[in-house]
Every structure is written in C-alpha cells, then in structure tokens.
Structure 1
Amino acid sequence: MIHGIALRYFVEVARTGSLAAASEELHVAVSAISRQITKLEQETGTVLFERLPRGMVLTEAGQLLAEHARRTLLDAQLVLGEISSRHASSGGLVRLACTDGFVHGVLPDVMLIYHQQYPATRFILESGNPEQVCHWVETGEADIGLGFTIASTHEIEIVLHHTLPVCALLRPGHPLASQEVLSLDDLARYPLAILERGNTVRQLLEWSFTAQGKVFTPLLSSGHTSTLHRFAAHTDTIALGSRLAIHGQPECNQLLAKRIDEPLLQQRQLQLMTMKARRLPPAVSQFLQLLQQQLHTALDA
C-alpha cells in the first residue's frame, strides 16, 4: 500500500532531482527519503528513477506515478482546506504563474477585483518563461498558469486559447506612428527593445528575420516587459510584445500597438491553463472564472 509520506518524499525528489536537495527542502534525513523511495519501487515492482552521477531522473513508470502522486497530494490539501475553512475565516490560497508581460497589469487588476469580493483570499504570483509556467502548473506548484504556446503536454488542461500576435509598441510621436502595418524593414530601421532569450517573442522575431536573411541587434534586452515599455514610451525605440501586456499600465497606455506584416509573428497563442483532471479548490475555481471573463473582455476590446 502506497502511503502519503512516501508519495510526498517521492514527489519532492522528482521535483528537485536529488535525494540531497529533497532532504534539504523537507528537513528529513537522506536515508529516510531513500528508504521510502526503495519501498515504492518494491511495491510497484519497477524502477522509478534513473540514478545518474548528477542526480535522479524519473523513468517512464516514475513519470506515471508522479502524475498520480501530485494530484493525490493536491486533493488531500483540498480536503484539509475544506475542513479547516469550516472552523476558520480563511479565504483560501490562489497560486498563479505567468510570463512577465502579465505581471504588471492584467493579473494584478484581476486580483484587485477578486480581493474586493473575497478579502481573506491570499495570492502567490510567480513569473517565468513559458516552459517554466507550464512546468509549475504540471507539478502543482501553481494552480493557474497564463502564458504562451509551447509544446503540448497531456498533463495540462487548456482553459482558454487565443491568438495574440506579436505587435510593435511605439509612442504616438514615433516617425512610424501613422502607419497601420509595419514590415521587418521598418523594424530594422529603428532601435528595438525586446525580452531576453527564452521567450516566444524573441524566438519568433529571430525566426522571422532569419527567414528573410536579416539579423537584428536590440538596443535594449531585458527580462522585464515594463522596462521595455517605459523605454519605448520616451524614445523612438520600438518594443516588441502584445497589446494585452500594456493593458492597465498608466504610463504605457498611450503606446500604439501596430500589426507587423510577418506571418510567423501572427501565430503566437495565449494559453490559460490548469493541471489536467485536478479538482480545483473553491477559491482557485472562482478566481479562474473571473480571470477568464476579464481576459475575454480585454481581448475583445
């Protein structure tokens, strides 16, 4: 019989990649964690981890058990939360993960709306690249993820899917402000501000320039979209991103979002995601519904 403590240790080793790292996170002796992993392998009759010189990697069987274990532990937390909520005024916890563009406007705005109705609800908001966001949702480290298309995975439930092209963001007084559509040649004539490598905007722009035999060197490269937007708001620099990313930012609301005549840049897909087959806590489910509504409103504007 697989016990909860064994699953907890197993999931932490899978997450951290080593017994030592899991020991440090759990404050449990390495030997105790190792014994539980060995028991799990004996009960399942198969090897769950590949023991490598630099850590431990899940086998195919381990991957299957990890998916089950994560949901089991989250379901247990959900039940405990429901029980405790009957004896306390706690409003629950909503853990969010997103790419950087949604940290400064969209998500804080929705959190404020939700807070007005449910002031006891707590929030955790983390940002990262699309792969990180997807991973945090897959492993249960985040309840809701908001980001852009990456390789599909059977562990993710796509709640909302919407085409959100890469746009050129520039100030009203920019020399290109009167043009409705910009070309790559237009972009090449002006300094560019773009996110660092590891995000969809940078990747798609590099592919687009390469396909036309062109190269670009950004004037400004940063991990924070707010930095790019502010720079573009005060110079002739063109920031690359989405119109949704400047939503609700007073200083950047005046930026113009121009379509770019390049097919690759039109293909970017926004995704709102949760862990597949997971029963969401009430606070998470309610927040997700509100977020969907607010996103539909912003995207249709």
Structure 2
Amino acid sequence: MDALDTRALRHFLAVVRTGSIRAAADHISIAPSAVSRQIADIEHRLGLPIFERSARGVVLTEAGELLAEHAKRMVEDEELLREQLGRLKGIKQGLVRISCGDGFVADLMANGLRTFAKIYPNIRFTIQLAGTAGVLAAVSDGDADVGLVYNPVIDTGIRSIAIARQPLAVITPPGHPLLTRPSISLAESLAYPCALLIPGHGVRQLVGRVAADCGLALSPALETPSIDVLRQFVRASLGITYLPPFAVDTELARGEVGVVGLTDPLLVEASAHIIVRARRRLPVSVEQLVGHIAREMVAFRVKHPY
C-alpha cells in the first residue's frame, strides 16, 4: 500500500465528523468534487471501500474504522512533531483545545487558566462548551486535546488523566426548607419545583437514572442547556436544582445558594474527569495544562462542603 498523504487524511476525517462529503467540503472550504476524488484515491490505494454511501450521507466500513484510527494518530503525531521542532527553534508556544461542560468554566478560568497563563504565557487556548456526550465525542474524534466532563461513560477511545469524586447535590435558595436536613434522597427532593439540564448532560443522565430506579418521572419546572440559567433559577428562589457543588463554588462562598447532600449511592459516587484520547502521545503543552488543572481546579480536589 502506498503512503497516504496527511492532507488527504485530514479531509477524510472531516467527512467522518460531518457525515457527508458535501458537509466536509463546506467545513474545510474546498470543492466537494476534490474531497470525493481524495476519498476515491484512498479507497483505490487501500483496495477496500472506506464508506458505505446512502442518500443520508456516509458511514464507515470496517476498513474505514481502522483508517480513521490511523488517521487520528497521523494527524496528532504531525502536530506533536511540529511543537517539538518549534521548541528546538526556541518557539515556546502551542495551542490547546479544550472541550468542557458549562459547570467547569468558572473553576477553569479562576483556578486553572488564570494561574497557568502566568507560568506559560505563550500557550493559547480554544474552549468549546458541550454536554457529556459532546465532550466525549470531541476528544475521541480529535477535535479537542483535553476534555473536562462529569461522570462520563468511558470507552476504549478515552483515557482519564485525573478523577475526583464529586457527588451530586441539591442546590437550593438561601433559607430553603431542605437546608434543615443534613442529607436527602432524590425521591424526597423531587417534591419541590426544580430546574434540570436537558438530556445529553451527565447530571441529567444521573438524575434520570436514579428517578427511574425509584419509579418516578421527572417533571422539571425548567429545562436548559445552561448551568448559568440553573444558577439564576435558584438565586431567584424559583426552586432547586441538581449540580456538583464545585459548579456553584462562587455562589456558595457568597451565601447566594445552599447545598444539601443526596444519599442515593449512584449520586454519591459521581466524579469529575480530565480526559484525553486513548493511546495518544500528548504534546508538552497539553501535558503541562493537564497536570496544572488537576492540581489547581476545585473540581479535582476532594472537598465536599456538606
């Protein structure tokens, strides 16, 4: 088999991520016919089809799955080499792509990037917000270097660099009746109006699973993809919500919200993870960031204020 061009592999990965040749072409700003020719050339070199085509788009064949893993390694190794050569030239800089849940943002900024940027001022960042499924996909597909995620279902394509137990809790307005209790079950707390994250977020998955085990249906007063909206809902005394306490660390310190522990075992054992793609050799910039945020972020310290 002839060697495959890295550029062609990048375009192939764009098709994998977008699900069609036309969408990939739009994403990378080249003609669909050029992408189609590259895919045809790759299939000719391999002697096997890499996509099953339909009116709805394309799906990887078994050969395509193998090529996708190889392509991700090739692209990552090229980026790693570029950073290493840059360091030899005295260019100490890099770009780290972060994907995380909304609840990590305040902690990441105040306790992670604020101090890290002072130590490594030439490292740049991009931050993409996503639910649990989106963060896992971004890291697994190579669209993010680092993921911060709450209670993910880890598969073989993901590696957790740091894990800290961060139980799910009830977040209440100040003076709420639940604050007289040291802890409470989820079933008991559902008697009060609540706001929940939309499906696809780790917190919603946990709450939904425990509620279903109790034979209860969720009927939130408000659903949102935004943790800031959940905070505002509680601060406005509209009801309660469910979050790990690190997601409201600032509000807790100001006395703007209260927290009550939940007793359900699944919720007690929930955890925060720093994830990277499995079997990837991490660039120095990514290793430095991961080590720093694991030490400095509240989410990765085992500290429970209740």
Equivalent residues in 2 for 1:115-126 (5 A)?
115-126=117-128
Q: Does the Cα contact within 8 Å between 1:168 and 1:259 map onto a contact in 2?
A: yes
- CA offset at residue 114 of structure 1? 0.5
Question: How is 1:204-283 mapped onto 2 (pairs within 5 angstroms)?
Answer: 204-235=206-237, 237-248=239-250, 254-283=256-285
After TM superposition, give the deviation of residue 206 of structure 1 in Å: 2.4
What is the CA–CA distance in structure 2 between the aligned matches of 1:297 and 1:146, rounded to whole Å? 10
Counterpart position of 2:164? 162
Q: CA distance change for structure 1 residues 128 and 253 in 2, over 3 Å: closer, same or farther?
A: farther
> CA contact under 8 A between 1:174 and 1:236: conserved in structure 2?
no
Shift of 1:143: 0.5
1:106 aligns with 2:108: yes
1:298: how far off? 5.0
Do the aligned residues in 2 keep the contact of 1:222 with 1:228 (CA within 8 Å)?
yes
Output aligned runs, 1:51-200, within 5 Å. 51-87=53-89, 91-200=93-202
RMSD: 2.3
Structure 1 CA distance for aligned equivalents of residues 300 and 39 of structure 2: 47
- For 1:36, the equivalent position in structure 2 comes to 38
Alpha-carbon offset, residue 252 of structure 1: 6.0
Identity in percent: 31
Q: Using the alignment, how far apart are the partners of 1:122 and 1:59 within structure 2?
A: 36
The normalised TM-score by structure 2 is 0.89
- Is the contact made by 1:97 and 1:146 (CA closer than 8 Å) also made in structure 2? yes
Distance 1:197 1:29 in 2: 36
Write the distance in 2 (CA, Å) between the matches of 1:107 and 1:158.
21
Distance 1:255 1:296 in 2: 18
- Residues 171/286 of structure 1: CA separation in 2 closer, same or farther (3 Å cut): same
Aligned to 2:51: 49
The CA deviation string for residues 279-299 of structure 1, in whole angstroms up to 9 with x for no partner, is 222211101100111247853
Where 2:67 maps in the other structure, the secondary structure is helix
Supply the distance in 2 between the matched residues of 1:16 and 1:153 (Cα, whole angstroms).
Answer: 21
Give 1:263 shift.
2.8
Equivalent of residue 12 in structure 1, options 7, 14, 33: 14
Aligned counterparts of 1:252 and 1:49: Cα–Cα separation in 2: 55
- Gaps of at least 5 residues in structure 1 are none
